[in-house]
Amino acid sequence: MKREILRLENIVKKFGKLTVLDEILLSIYENEFVTLLGPSGCGKTTLLRIIGGFEQPDAGRVIFNGKDIARVPSNKRPFNTVFQKYSLFNHMTVEENIAFGPEISGKSTDYIRGKISYALKLVNLEGYEKHDVTKLSGGQQQRIAIARAIVNEPKILLLDEPLSALDLKLRRSMRAELVRIKKETGITFIFVTHDQEEALSMSDTVVVMNQGYIQQIGTPENVYNEPENAFVADFIGDSNIIDGVMVHDKLVRILGREYPCVDVGFPPESPVDVQIRPEDITLDEPQEDALNGVVTKVGFWGMSYDIYVSAGGFEWLIQSIHRREVGEEVSLHLDPENIQIMVKPQSEDEAKLVED
């Protein structure tokens, strides 16, 4: 049974006239790796800062262990933060940085010494006690920032885009490190990022946000394979999103053709958004009765080719390991289980959210 550790109830935050967070409802469970994912300006960092106590919500409650802590200052919360720019104390050594928290809370020298060596071991920087933090690499500084937070044994660790300043390779290895550190310490992680790959590869739960609203909460597989709306589909991974009409259960009409699908429960003849992942489309020789088109553009990304095909009045994106030439005629094939049907936004307001 998962135990709820933090609950956000109807959090509203406005900066001037701009509503950054609108009635946010979110439960976070003990020992969970939760990622707040969204484009810049979606409110994810503000939400993290509210949890950390660096901002106060205009309305709503932050419930921790049954108590509202929305007005408790950050130095009195049992949470610690790993900041985007590391924010290490440059006038202190590695050791002094890590000892900062325990010293403030009046721990004994022996306890602190033990904690420092434990934390440095945890982040693979044993023997760096006396080093000057300004002389460390970006990756090492980030590890020290993690160690400095972990030694306080926070109930929740807040991570504000901690990997964004690192290069790609380092970022990848740090992802695995973070997951390992989370497992070893058993601390609940709340991680903020705009990088969907980061979110999908590390999290237990992904919270997709846009324009101050939560768009979807789910496991990484869940939000990737079954996006609830076109924003989520578009933001996470590449997508072909096409206007469609649900003919009846398990049959959808797109671009004038009818395709079998697996979704049920939509009213007959209702307009829907149809999402098809670029890697789920297979290309073949042109055939009668198939959706035929012409390759308009080809890009190479190392792992695969991005192939753009104009077919049925729509520009399709297809990812394939087989190269195609521009001008080549091809046919497109879709499997029913790869066609994802999503509810069309009801109001103009919602539609705008999706477009943005």
Partner 1 sequence: MFRSIGLRNLFLVPFCVWAGIFIFVPVVFIIYYGLTDTAGNFTWDNISMILRREYYSSLRLSVLLALVTTIVCLLLAYPLCLILVERAKSSGAIIILLFVLPLWMNTLLSTMAWQTIFEHDGILNQVLRIFSLPDLTLINTPTAVVIGMIYNYLPYMVLPLYVTLSKIDKSIFEAAKDLGASAWQTFWKVTLPLSLPGAISGITMVFIPALTTFAISALLGGSKLLLIGNVIEQEFTVEYDWHLGSALSSVLMIFIIVYMVLTFAFEQSHQEED
Interface positions with partner 1 (CB under 8 A): 52, 54, 73-76, 79-81, 83-85, 87-91, 100-101, 104-105, 132, 134, 148-149, 152
| Nearer CB in complex with partner 1: 73/336 | 73
| Nearer CB in complex with partner 1: 40/75 | 75
| Nearer CB in complex with partner 1: 102/244 | 102
For residue 171, how many other CB atoms are within 10 A of its CB?
Answer: 18
Rg value, the chain, Cα: 24
- Angle, vertex CA 319, rays to CA 316 and CA 323, nearest 5: 105
Tokens of 6: 């933090």
For residue 314, how many other CB atoms are within 10 A of its CB?
Answer: 16
| Whole-Å CA distances, 33 to 52, 56, 148, 257 | 16, 24, 19, 42
Give the ranges where the chain is alpha helix by DSSP (H).
Answer: 44-52, 94-104, 109-122, 138-150, 168-185, 196-202, 220-225, 230-235, 348-355
Tokens of 261: 């699908």
Question: Minimum Å distance from CB 154 to partner 1?
Answer: 9
Question: Minimum Å distance from CB 88 to partner 1?
Answer: 8
Question: Minimum Å distance from CB 241 to partner 1?
Answer: 37
Amino acid at 3: R
CA–CA gap between residue 260 and residue 299 (Å, rounded): 30
CA–CA gap between residue 150 and residue 81 (Å, rounded): 9
| Nearer CB in complex with partner 1: 87/109 | 87
Give the ranges where 151-215 is alpha helix by DSSP (H).
Answer: 168-185, 196-202
Question: Minimum Å distance from CB 160 to partner 1?
Answer: 9
Question: Minimum Å distance from CB 77 to partner 1?
Answer: 9
Largest CA distance in the chain: 80
| Nearer CB in complex with partner 1: 145/236 | 145
| Nearer CB in complex with partner 1: 54/305 | 54
Question: Minimum Å distance from CB 140 to partner 1?
Answer: 17
Question: Minimum Å distance from CB 95 to partner 1?
Answer: 13
| Nearer CB in complex with partner 1: 152/240 | 152
Question: Minimum Å distance from CB 108 to partner 1?
Answer: 16
Question: Minimum Å distance from CB 105 to partner 1?
Answer: 6
Collapsed DSSP state (helix, strand, coil) of residue 38: coil
| Nearer CB in complex with partner 1: 149/353 | 149
| Nearer CB in complex with partner 1: 149/174 | 149
| Residues ≥6 apart with Cβ < 8 Å to 329 | 285, 286, 292, 293, 294, 295
- Angle, vertex CA 174, rays to CA 170 and CA 177, nearest 5: 145
